[in-house]
Structure 1
Amino acid sequence: MITVIRRGMKSRVYKGLLLVIALALAGAFSLPGIIKMAMSKTEWVIDINGTKVDRNDLVRAIMGQQELVEIFRTYYGENAELFAQLMGLVLNPEVLAFDKIVRDTLLDQATQKLFIAVDREYISQQLHNLPFLQQETPSLVPRYIIGPQGIEMNRLRNHLQKIGLTTADFEDRIEHALERSMTLVFVQHASYTLESEVKNRFIRENSGKKFTLLTIPMSTFLKKVKEQEVSQQELKTFFDAKNSKEKRYWVPERRAGIVWEITPRMYGITVSNEQIEKYYNDNKARYFVESPTKVTVRRIVFNNKQEATNARQKFIADPASFANDAESIATFSKNTHERDFEKAAFLLKNDGDFSPVIKTSKGFEIIQRISREPQTYKSFSSVSNSIRDSLLAQSFQHAFEEDVQQLKKRALQDVTVWQKFVDEKGGASKNIESIVNDNSPLAQVLFRLHKDGYSFYFSEGKGFVVKLSYIDKRHLPSLALLQERVTEDLYQERALTAMQEQFAQLKQESQGKSFQEIAKDLDAKVRTTDWINTKDQETLQKLTAEGVPTTQLLQLEKIGAVVEFTTGKEGHLGRLDDIQAFDEQLFNAQKTQLRRMQLKDAYQISQQAFVASLYRNATIKTNESYNYNQQ
């Protein structure tokens, strides 16, 4: 199977995809020190329905999730945490790894019960699907094994050796990943969508709605609960409960140190114009295609093969007659049409040539080539700078990694070799002020070190050497030091509970009273909205900024329906007053697209429900003697 990967790397599409990912997410994956620790001893850490997962697998999974977390943070930048919360994600590699192991194992067990297997040809095809490999098996295909020309085979072998896997293990895990994917495909295709669901989606997305909204500020409830003094015992009970369940008042561990930045310039690495030009000429068909090869063809479709075969003989004798009955196909490139049709079209050598009779989803076809446009390439001048940067980064990364790997070995006898190395290279130093483990590349390295220890990582075309100089252990301050904060938190929680209870009661009262009547005896504001439509983003953003719960309101589908919604700032009671008239003509125009979108949602829901059922019926145990925090 490794050979299959090597052959697949010759594909222009595949290598182009690799280059995009390698350049967009520049920087090597820093192999964590936990691998060495894990390999020293094997013990089970998770038991899933009797299937035991050993600590080596957990460590590999953590490593893979660290890779994905880094990609996520690179893509979303300073807003990564916010987007993660909106998606319901926790950017904690350990938590993500644990969940992925359990999910994959449950799906493996389901796959076995369903007798699902994939053939070797399909496996070979998917080995060229890099996004799939990096998502499903990130610990097997980390970024650092990807070079400008695709997967570096030596790096792949070295990587597998470092994480304790053989080539056979690699093949087996890829096969299991594909079987899991196939199982979910079968599950999703059991989904369906009703006409009423499609119509409701149209109404949600196109029909405007009017609402009445009753709002009470949190301050009203907070003022009331503060009328009752909190006892010291109540504070202690609250303080202990929050620390037991969610570690609310624990101060996280913080670490400080020094980081030295090493650049390609410090290595004296240069790239000549000849090297750049050679790389361009060797790879322009893979990476630098301006416009791919295109063909224009005609086709005729027949109901049976014999009819098509007889007709082909006639067309060969009288080529001009083909155009009378043929359908002309607009000029196209590869990967835009059905595979068998496309293959036959691009195999035609000359204009006017006929294909053999081929079988497609439409029937039995004969294709005639009308014209062919050869592929064109980006000019050397337009890509030379990016090639130079890529080759420079690759050369530097190789040299830097070789040096630090040697330093790690020598440092076992003499730790000062690290300091000598950065002094020799003239690395620019920067003090690391006290930081928490935010899973950034720097923090990941710093939080694996012992005090006064050194390590390294590679990111964005630069190398970094890190020294840990100070550790402030995680600790829980006394209640006395946090008295004011804990008191305010307790009041806030009581006020929120009171607000939720009040609005649950108001929702019941709204069945027989108007919002104006309800508001008379309360410190409440009542307002009505104009038409609100999900596609009117400007209005939605304005209302959301004013505190209006537009998402919850727009989910109402029946006139008179009421929804309650509370936040840390205020509580809302919303009622749907009117819906714009149904536009039958617009619905019919959008029906096909809406059904496709609704079915896509149904696919996702069915997969989630299937996995949730596996969790619900599973027996999952953890090895209490295993120190998860150590990892």
Structure 2
Amino acid sequence: MLEKIREGSQGLAAKIVLGAVILSFALAGIGGYLGQTTEQPVAEVNGVKISQLDFARAFENERGRLEQQFGEYFEQIASDPTYMAQIREGVVERLVQQELQNQLAQELGLRVSDEQIKQAIFEMPYFQIGGQFSNDRYLQLIRQMNFQPDDFREYLREEMTRNQLVSAIAGSDFALDSEVKQTLTLQQQTRNVDYLVLDKEKLKSQVSVTESEIKDYYDLNQDQFMSPELVALNYIELKASDIELVDPITDEQVRAYYDENQAQYLEEERRRVSHILIESIENPESAQAKAQELYSQLQGGADFAELAKTHSDDVASGELGGDLDWIERDMMDPEFEAAAFALTNVGDYSSVVESEFGFHIIQLTDLQAQEVKAFEELASELRAELEQNAKIDAFYGKQEEVRELAFEVADSLDDAATAANVDVKNTELVARNLLPAPLNLPAVSRVIFTPELLEDGVNSEVIEVAPEHVVIVRVAEHKPAAVKSLEEVTAQITTRLENDKASELAKDKAQELFAQLEGGKALGEIATAEALEVKSEPALARQSYAVSPALVSKAFKMPHPGEGHASKAMVELNNGDSALLVVKSVNLAEVADELEPQQKQSITRTQVNKNYLALLNALEDTAEIVKPSTFEVAEEN
């Protein structure tokens, strides 16, 4: 098992998980917590304290994930203090579980080496530019996450070590065929049910709502009637691609650039070759002798392509006369390559060459010598590259000038806009979740809703929204979130109270009718007397979408009906309706003796998840965990 654990930290899944962690942190950012310290931990696990900074990182990571998941609806969700309290509690719980895993990993002696950490960092695409690791990019991103290099390496070590535990559970768990069949039998079981629904909408005519009830509900639930925080913004946007060059790129500059960089425009030598392969796995001496015999036949005038078709062990190329198509340097086995590139003229063939695959005879069938691409072929591409470089240079020069002016004249963007040769753009009053692009990016919206911009009315710092693309914003007008007036929400409250009262009537009526059902009255008789409709599902499945989820769930929790009598229940539905449910019989599934691999994999995965949760619960049950009843964390607005 320990071998599986150690392998787990090096696999593709581990890199994907770690990459996701880095990406979500990079998108979310934790700038709002820089410098934040506190003595009080958010939790303590077997004497190890989980700090406020640990919580801040994890909470902002989770917030960023939710913003991406829910998009424009997140602000509406986040305005519910109960929901955000649940999010905070969930983050603390995960931190506790992670610390328990860290302690178990230490107890098991699990380790991730410095070399593994280094390799993981080098391979993360978020730290790469053009497919190559960039130390500048690496340092920039981890500083955005409020990490120093040593801290980040230790954070990564903990993540990779925990991943070893997860991989161990996934790699060592299994399900017996009998267990899989038993599970499939339950999963594929269906039930024969009848039900009737008491629709609350049909009972609304029997309810009324008074003004005092509306007023009372409004007073007790004002957090439900908040109008969102609104801002009107001024901003300037500077993009390298939009910059107009004062001095256009000349033909002379393009030619000079080509001459200075000719080494970059080399087309490497290519050779088209054919070969005859005699494999040497079973008997190297015999293979070499056969290859030498074929070489002798070639020297005697035999046709290379015919010999390849009849004798080569490389069947695919042999059918084509041994043709391997075009090759370049560093494509083939070193011994093969050396022999192929030593041939001088088209038609020449090598002596017998040994490689790891066996013995070869190689023929040169075509040749493209190394050459430099012509200037005319590259001129337009080089001009575009020079223009882009010039625009980027101009961009960074303007960015610095704009940064200084926005700071010096903090109550206006006019001077900065003039220096950048761009217009100041404006928005109407808009909610956070409706900001226009590029202001709707989390990195920008967080800055907009800081006290400095909302209360002091100053210009923001330069905010990067993409490579060579920045904005500076200021808040022209701010309307804090406020409770809507009673008049604005009276209709909404009336509908809510009517629904609640109608649901209570439906529930009371369902209880009355359920008593009749329990007393022996048939469901059909009840339906007829109440002008209701009985619906039937002779083969209701667990995954049925045609029936209310509450009814499906209840149907499969009810006991099997006995001889001569059905199982009965009253069910409150999620939409406020109520229902009577009768399970008449259970239809057992027939499972084939031969199991599908996907079925076994799915059930094993479910078992893995159950065992993983069981491990976490066991660790919590035996640990000494202290969570303060309340703690405060400064959140960004």
The two structures have a TM-score, normalised by structure 1, of 0.60
Q: Which amino acid aligns with 2:42?
A: I
Residues of 1 paired with 2:220 and 2:626: CA distance? 28
The answer to whether the aligner puts 1:472 opposite 2:468 as a matched pair is no
Distance verdict in 2 for CA 1:330–1:577, change over 3 Å: farther
8 Å CA contact retained: 1:48, 1:105:
no
8 Å CA contact retained: 1:213, 1:573:
yes
3-state SS, counterpart of residue 196 of structure 2: strand
3-state SS, counterpart of residue 174 of structure 1: helix
Residues of 2 paired with 1:386 and 1:523: CA distance? 79
3-state SS, counterpart of residue 185 of structure 1: helix
For residues 58-111 of structure 1, give each alpha carbon's deviation from its aligned partner in whole angstroms, at most 9, with x where no partner exists: 4444554455456546xxx77999999xxxx98999787656545434433444
Distance verdict in 2 for CA 1:189–1:416, change over 3 Å: same
- The alpha carbon displacement at 1:593 in A equals 2.4
3-state SS, counterpart of residue 225 of structure 2: coil
> Which of these residues, 199, 205, 212, is aligned with residue 194 of structure 2?
212
The answer to whether the aligner puts 1:257 opposite 2:233 as a matched pair is yes
**Corresponding residue of 1:117:** 111
Could you say which structure has the larger radius of gyration?
Answer: 2
- The alpha carbon displacement at 1:600 in A equals 0.8
Q: Which amino acid aligns with 1:266?
A: D
**Corresponding residue of 2:523:** 515
- The alpha carbon displacement at 1:256 in A equals 2.5
Q: How does 1:120-519 map to 2 (within 5 A)?
A: 120-127=114-121, 130=124, 146-161=128-143, 163-188=145-170, 191-193=173-175, 195=177, 198-199=180-181, 202-203=184-185, 211-220=193-202, 222-224=204-206, 226=207, 232=212, 238-239=217-218, 242=221, 247-268=223-244, 315-319=283-287, 407-408=402-403, 411-415=406-410, 418-423=413-418, 424-427=420-423, 429-436=425-432, 440-441=441-442, 442-448=444-450, 449-451=453-455, 452-455=457-460, 457-459=463-465, 462-477=469-484, 482-496=489-503, 499=506, 514-519=522-527
8 Å CA contact retained: 1:397, 1:458:
no
**Corresponding residue of 1:597:** 602
Q: Which amino acid aligns with 1:468?
A: V
For residues 156-189 of structure 1, give each alpha carbon's deviation from its aligned partner in whole angstroms, at most 9, with x where no partner exists: 2244446553221111111011122222334455
Residues of 2 paired with 1:190 and 1:63: CA distance? 34
Distance verdict in 2 for CA 1:508–1:195, change over 3 Å: farther
Residues of 1 paired with 2:417 and 2:611: CA distance? 55
Residues of 2 paired with 1:166 and 1:553: CA distance? 53
For residues 441-469 of structure 1, give each alpha carbon's deviation from its aligned partner in whole angstroms, at most 9, with x where no partner exists: 35333212334233354446754332212
Q: Which amino acid aligns with 2:474?
A: K
Residues of 1 paired with 2:585 and 2:278: CA distance? 54
- The alpha carbon displacement at 1:517 in A equals 3.7
Residues of 1 paired with 2:582 and 2:93: CA distance? 39
3-state SS, counterpart of residue 612 of structure 2: helix
- The alpha carbon displacement at 1:248 in A equals 2.1
RMSD: 6.0
8 Å CA contact retained: 2:235, 2:474:
yes
8 Å CA contact retained: 1:262, 1:428:
no
Distance verdict in 2 for CA 1:211–1:419, change over 3 Å: farther
- The alpha carbon displacement at 1:523 in A equals 5.6
Q: Which amino acid aligns with 2:134?
A: E
Q: Which amino acid aligns with 2:196?
A: L
Residues of 2 paired with 1:123 and 1:607: CA distance? 25
Residues of 1 paired with 2:109 and 2:515: CA distance? 52
8 Å CA contact retained: 1:260, 1:427:
yes
Residues of 2 paired with 1:398 and 1:606: CA distance? 57
Give the count of matched residue pairs.
Answer: 512
- The alpha carbon displacement at 1:429 in A equals 1.9
- The alpha carbon displacement at 1:249 in A equals 2.9
- The alpha carbon displacement at 1:494 in A equals 4.4
**Corresponding residue of 1:376:** none
Distance verdict in 2 for CA 1:250–1:583, change over 3 Å: same
8 Å CA contact retained: 2:514, 2:580:
yes
Residues of 1 paired with 2:66 and 2:483: CA distance? 28
Distance verdict in 2 for CA 1:80–1:29, change over 3 Å: closer
8 Å CA contact retained: 2:191, 2:585:
yes
Distance verdict in 2 for CA 1:30–1:576, change over 3 Å: closer
8 Å CA contact retained: 1:197, 1:598:
no
The answer to whether the aligner puts 1:619 opposite 2:626 as a matched pair is yes
Q: Which amino acid aligns with 2:154?
A: D
Q: Which amino acid aligns with 1:419?
A: D
3-state SS, counterpart of residue 621 of structure 1: coil
8 Å CA contact retained: 2:550, 2:573:
no
The answer to whether the aligner puts 1:525 opposite 2:528 as a matched pair is no
3-state SS, counterpart of residue 599 of structure 1: helix
- The alpha carbon displacement at 1:418 in A equals 3.9
For residues 575-598 of structure 1, give each alpha carbon's deviation from its aligned partner in whole angstroms, at most 9, with x where no partner exists: 5556777454xx334443211111
Distance verdict in 2 for CA 1:422–1:242, change over 3 Å: same
3-state SS, counterpart of residue 241 of structure 2: helix
3-state SS, counterpart of residue 534 of structure 2: strand
Q: Which amino acid aligns with 2:233?
A: G
- The alpha carbon displacement at 1:405 in A equals 6.8
Residues of 2 paired with 1:250 and 1:571: CA distance? 32
Distance verdict in 2 for CA 1:595–1:525, change over 3 Å: same
> Which of these residues, 38, 41, 48, is aligned with residue 44 of structure 2?
48
Residues of 2 paired with 1:398 and 1:502: CA distance? 77
Distance verdict in 2 for CA 1:185–1:70, change over 3 Å: same
The two structures have a TM-score, normalised by structure 2, of 0.60
Residues of 2 paired with 1:207 and 1:192: CA distance? 23
